[in-house]
A and B are shown apart, each in its own frame.
Chain A
Amino acid sequence: MNAMTPQTRQLVRMRGRSYVAFVFSPVVPVAGWLEEVDATLARSPGFFVGKPVVLDLSALDLSSSGISHLVSSLEQRNIRVLGLEGVNEAHVTTSMPPLLTGGRNCMLAENERKDMPENRASAKEQSKAKPKPASLLIETPVRSGQSVVFTEGDVTVLGSVGSGAEIVAGGSIHVYGALRGRAMAGIEGNASARIFCQKIEAELLAIDGFYQTAEDIGDNLRHRPAQAWLAGDVMRIEPLN
C-alpha cells in the first residue's frame, strides 16, 4: 500500500457521531418540577446554555399539547430541547423535537476528556426508531497509538493495523492487511461478532469480552489469514483457507 497515493476524487462522506446530552426526566406535578428547574437556574444561571438537552417523558403520560407546552416552557427558560424520549410516537408532531431511541447512560466527566485518541469515530442512530445496519470503512493504515471506536457496527480496515493501535467495534472487524494491534469486536454484547484479517499478528483479540492475547494465539496461525469467533465461552481462531 502506498500511503502517498494522491486522492483524485473527494467523496461526500456522512459520518455518525455521538454526543453527550443532559436528560431531563420530569415528574408529576409538572408545575412543581418546573419550579425545581427554576431553582437550579437561580443558583447557576446559564448552566444549560449551549448544552444539548433531551426530555425523557416516560414517567409522564402527556398529550401532544401537553408535550408542546412543556417544551415551550423550557424554551422560555432558555433551555432548548434536542429530542424527546419515552413518548408514544403518535403524540410527536413535526413542530416538536425528534424522537430519540437507543440512548445509553454515561459518565459525563469521561466524555469531556480532552485527550481523545485520534481518528476516533462512533455513530449513533438518533432519529430513526429502527436501527439501520452500520459500518465504518477505513482506507488508510491504522497507526500505532491510534484508536478507532465504532460501537454501532462493523469496522473494515483496508490497510494494516499497527502494533499498539486498537479497533473497537460493536459488530465484526475486517482487516485487509496485517492485524498487529488489538481488535475488540462485539463490545456491546454481540457474541456473534467475528474478527477477520489477512495476516494475524495481533496483540489481543476480544469478542464480547472474551479475549486472547498474543501468547494464547498459536504459532501455527501467525502470519496467516485467519478468523476468530466465539463458540459458547471459548474463542476459536482458525486459518481462513
Chain B
Amino acid sequence: MAKVLVVTSGKGGVGKTTSTAALGAALAQMGQRVVVIDFDVGLRNLDLVLGAERRVVFDLINVVQGVAKLQQALIRDKRLENLWLLPASQTRDKDALTEEGISRIIAELRTRFDWILCDSPAGIERGAMLAMRFADAAVIVTNPEVSSVRDSDRIIGMLDSKTVKAERGEMVEKHILITRYDPGRASRGEMLSIDDILEILATPLLGIIPESQDVLKASNVGSPVTLHNADSPPARAYTDAVGRLLGDSIEMTVPTERKGFMSRLLGRKAA
C-alpha cells in the first residue's frame, strides 16, 4: 500500500529539501521502494542534494504536460537502487503545474512505489498546495523559532482543510520534525524548547535533528546526510525518524557528537 508523504513547512530555509533527501534515502536503505518528487518548480534543489543534477533530461512539468512519459523522467539513484527522483523544471514556474496532471502522476507512482515523498516549496501558493493535495501523511519541518512555528501552524491548518483527504472528511497523518535544533542554545533559552513547539502545534513529534555541519557537508557533495555519514548525529536522528514513520517505537533523543578526548579539550574554534 503506497503512501504519499508531503514534506512541508510554510517557511523557507528550514530544511525541507535536506529532510526529504535524508528521509527518502533512509527509507530506501531499509528496503522500501521510494520516489522523491521535487515540487519546487523554477527553484529546484532536490536534484543537487541527491547528486543527480547532471542526469536530468525530462522533468515533472514535461510529464504533467504529456511531453514525456513518467518512465523517462524518473532518475534512479546511483547508490541506492530503491531510490528514484522525479525532478522539477528549472525553466518554468509553478503555474505550469495542474491538479489533473499531478493527480495522474501520483496515481501512477502509487502502483510502483511504497513511498512517494513530495518535497514542497516554501509558501502557501500553488506549488505548496499541489504538493500536499494528495498526501496521506505529512512531515512538517519546523525550526525552533517563533516565525517557523507559526508558519507550521498555518500549514497544519491547510493540511486539515485543503487536501483531498480532508475534503473526504479523513485526516492527513501529521508529524512534526524539528530541525536545526541546538541543545546548548535551547538550554540557555535562546531557542524555543521542544515542549513549547509541541504545545503550540498540538501535533506528535517525529524526530529532532540537531544543528550540524554534517548536513551542509553532505549537501555540498550531493549526498543525503543519511548516506554521506551514517554515523553523524543528524543522520542517526533521521534514521530514527524513519523508524518511527515505519511504526517502530524508538525513544526520542537528540543525538549528539561522539566526542573524543581531543575534541573535548579543543571543543570550539575561536573566530
Contact = CB atoms under 8 A, between A and B. Distances in A.
A3 B150 contact: no
Contacts of B124: 145
A3 B153 contact: no
B73 interface: no
Interface residues of B, number: 20
B196 to A, nearest CB: 11
Contact of B157 (A1, A4, A146, A178): A146
Contact of B161 (A1, A118, A159, A163): A118
Contacts of B157: 118-119, 142-146, 162, 165
Contacts of A1: 202
Contacts of A180: 200
B59 interface: no
B53 interface: no
A141 B201 CA distance: 9
Q: Looking at B124, B150, B153, B204, which has the most chain A CB atoms within 10 Å of its CB? A: B153
Interface in B199-215: 199-200, 202-204
Contact of A143 (B160, B173, B199): B160
Contacts of B150: 144, 162-164
Main secondary structure of the interface of A (DSSP, over half): loop
Contacts of A6: 171
Q: Looking at A3, A146, A165, which has the most chain B CB atoms within 10 Å of its CB? A: A3
B171 A162 contact: no
A222 to B, nearest CB: 14
A4 B199 CA distance: 14
Interface in A139-154: 140-146
A149 to B, nearest CB: 15
Contact of B200 (A3, A142, A162): A162
Q: Looking at B162, B171, B202, which has the most chain A CB atoms within 10 Å of its CB? A: B202
Contacts of B171: 4, 6
Contacts of A119: 157, 161
B202 A159 contact: yes
A4 B137 CA distance: 11
A141 B154 contact: no
A210 B46 CA distance: 50
Interface string B127-161: 00000000000000000001000110110111011
Nearest to A160: B202
A162 B150 CA distance: 8
B153 A162 contact: yes
A144 B202 CA distance: 13
A143 B154 contact: yes
Contacts of A178: 199-200
B174 interface: yes
Contact of B153 (A2, A4, A140, A143): A143
Contacts of A4: 171, 173-174, 203-204
A141 B202 contact: yes
Contacts of A141: 202
Contacts of A165: 153, 157
Interface in A153-181: 159-160, 162-165, 178, 180
A3 B57 CA distance: 42
Given A3-B203, A4-B174, A164 B154 contact: yes
A178 B202 CA distance: 11
Contacts of B146: 163
B125 to A, nearest CB: 13
Nearest to A140: B160
A233 to B, nearest CB: 33
A141 B171 CA distance: 14
Nearest to A1: B202
B154 A145 contact: yes
B161 A3 contact: no
Contacts of A164: 150, 153-154
Interface string A1-19: 1111010000000000000
Nearest to A145: B154
Nearest to B156: A143
Nearest to A142: B157
Contacts of B158: 118, 145
A164 B151 CA distance: 9
Across the A-B interface, the 3 shortest Cβ-Cβ residue pairs = A143-B157, A144-B153, A144-B154
7 contacts: A6-B171, A118-B161, A119-B161, A143-B154, A145-B154, A162-B153, A180-B200
Given A118-B161, A144-B154, 19 more contacts: A1-B202, A2-B202, A3-B202, A3-B203, A4-B203, A6-B171, A118-B158, A119-B161, A140-B160, A143-B154, A143-B156, A143-B160, A144-B153, A145-B158, A146-B157, A160-B199, A162-B153, A162-B157, A163-B200
